[in-house]
């Protein structure tokens, strides 16, 4: 069997600080693996510039001029990590045997790619990179852990401690291309594809340079997309709590009638006010949850493009 053609997909948002080093290392890795006949020499790297405002695109263009292995796609604005990843994956689909997605800051050890390939050659269509030791700040680690726990409580299959560092084979890429949703959460989508898969653990490195491009706001939006596009349990919860409150109110009504008949009714201001606050709060909270899903539905129904390409360097 001839060695596979690998594409490495790297989304970049204002990564000029790290890109030269990242390109040098990834390019070196491909050259090395090709020399050792683990990869076809036609393997390549695609950088997706997700609306950077710094020099990222120029750097990608300069390296593209020098090497056949470096390709680039420039999005028309910042669409976010997930749309940028999808753009890369759909661009390489049909043009490689397998594809690895990774970050521009090389936090995910690229030496692991060789082990991804071994699993791929052994027949796995999907290979997940799993963070064994994370270098993130404590708050990030705790919120990530809480999020994975919430997802599993809500009945969504995600791979804990896996962050979009994975290999997808040709068939998995073709399957992924059939999903049309706008609310992207690839970590939830990929396990839905099926196929034979395996996991490889690695230690996370500190960022090469610069700051995280995932603001808390982007992280929160990703978590909401994860929950709302894979689980309707929060909606069911709203119905369940509603039902429970109705049952309780029957009991309360019974009690009131009983108290009235005994003639021991008191002014009862406190209980009324507490009940108003309590039910007002519950109703607003669940209206919010329903609104969140409705909002997602509005976005899905519009079928807007998930990203727009401004320029390609093939
Ligand atoms: N990224 C992107 N668009 C964004 C935010 C991030 O393409 O809107 C890219 C970023 O350039 C990097 C990857 O997504 O290659 C992961 O981001 P980062 O390393 O900043 O996240 P962290 O590792 O801190 O979670
Ligand atoms: Mg990072």
**Residues of the chain below pLDDT 70:** 264, 267
What pLDDT digit, counting tens, does each position of 137-150 carry?
888 888 888 888 88
Around ligand 1, the residues with Cβ closer than 6 Å are 11-13, 15, 50, 78, 80-81, 84, 103-105, 107, 212-214, 218
Q: What is the pLDDT of residue 250?
A: 80
Tell me if 67 is assigned to some domain: yes
How high is the pLDDT of residue 214?
Answer: 84
Whether residue 168 lies inside any domain: the answer is yes
Q: Do 29 and 133 belong together in one domain?
A: yes
Shared domain for 203 and 238, answered yes or no, is no
Q: Looking at the structure, do residues 278 and 309 belong to the same domain, yes or no?
A: no
Kindly give the number of the ligand 1 atom that is closest to the alpha carbon of 213: 20
Instruction: Say if strands 6-12 and 98-101 run parallel, antiparallel, or are unpaired.
Output: parallel
100 domain-assigned: yes
- Choose among 213, 202, 150, 203: nearest CA to 10: 213
190 CA distance to ligand 2 centroid (A)?
20
In a domain, 218, yes or no: no
Compute CA distances 229 → 99, 130, 166, whole Å.
25, 23, 21
Q: Are residues 184 and 262 in the same domain?
A: no
What is the number of structural domains in the chain? 2
Residues 196 and 261 in one domain: no
129 and 20 in one domain? yes
d(CA 209, ligand 1 centre) in Å: 12
Residue among 15, 103, 208, 221 whose CB has most ligand 1 atoms within 8 A, to mutate: 103
pLDDT of residue 100: 97
pLDDT in tens, 27-77: 999 999 999 999 999 999 999 999 999 999 999 999 999 999 999 999 999
* 96 C-beta neighbours (distance < 10 Å), count: 23
Q: Which atom of ligand 1 is nearest to the CA of 15?
A: 11
Atom of ligand 1 nearest to the CA of 80: 8
Task: Report if residue 268 sits inside a domain.
Answer: yes
> Same domain, yes or no, for 31 and 99?
yes
Output the residue whose Cα is nearest ligand 1's atom 16: 103
Question: What is the pLDDT at residue 76?
Answer: 97
Domain that holds residue 151: 6-210+305-313
Q: Is 198 exposed, middle or buried (0-12, 13-18, 19+ CB in 10 A)?
A: middle
**Co-location of 288 and 309 in the same domain:** no
Pocket residue to mutate for ligand 1, from 19, 104, 135, 221, most atoms within 8 A of Cβ: 104
Q: What is the pTM of this model?
A: 0.84
Whether residues 278 and 199 share a domain: the answer is: no
In a domain? residue 170 = yes
Q: Does residue 217 belong to any structural domain of this protein?
A: no
Same domain as 283, residue 197:
no
169 & 249 share domain: no
**Ligand 1: centre distance to CA 10 (Å):** 10
Task: For residues 270 and 122, state if they share a domain.
Answer: no
Q: Is the residue at 219 inside a domain?
A: no
């Amino acid at each position: 069997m001839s060695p596979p053609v690998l594409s490495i997909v790297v989304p970049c948002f204002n990564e000029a600080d790290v890109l030269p080093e990242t390109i040098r290392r990834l390019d070196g890795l491909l050259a090395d693996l090709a020399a050792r006949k683990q990869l076809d020499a036609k393997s390549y790297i695609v950088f997706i510039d997700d609306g950077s405002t710094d020099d990222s695109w120029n750097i990608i263009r300069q390296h593209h001029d020098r090497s056949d292995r470096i390709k680039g796609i420039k999005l028309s604005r910042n669409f976010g990590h997930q749309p940028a990843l999808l753009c890369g994956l759909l661009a390489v689909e049909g043009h490689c045997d397998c594809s690895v997605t990774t970050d521009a800051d090389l936090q995910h050890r690229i030496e692991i790619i060789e082990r991804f390939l071994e699993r791929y050659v052994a027949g796995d269509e999907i290979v997940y990179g799993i963070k064994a030791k994370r270098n993130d700040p404590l708050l990030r680690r705790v919120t990530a852990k809480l999020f994975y726990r919430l997802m599993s409580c809500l009945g969504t299959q995600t791979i804990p401690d896996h962050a979009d560092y994975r290999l997808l084979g040709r068939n998995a890429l073709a399957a992924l291309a059939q999903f049309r949703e706008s609310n992207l959460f690839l970590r939830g989508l990929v396990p839905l594809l099926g196929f034979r898969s395996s996991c490889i653990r690695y230690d996370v490195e500190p960022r090469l340079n610069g700051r995280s491009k995932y603001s808390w706001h982007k992280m929160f939006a990703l978590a909401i997309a994860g929950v709302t596009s894979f689980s309707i349990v929060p909606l069911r919860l709203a119905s369940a709590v509603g039902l429970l409150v109705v049952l309780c109110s029957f009991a309360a009504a019974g009690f009131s009638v009983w108290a009235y008949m005994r003639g021991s009714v008191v002014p009862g201001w406190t209980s009324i006010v507490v009940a108003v606050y309590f039910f007002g709060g519950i109703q607003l909270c669940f209206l919010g949850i329903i609104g969140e899903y409705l909002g997602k539905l509005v976005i899905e129904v519009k079928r807007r493009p998930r990203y727009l390409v401004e320029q390609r360097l093939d």
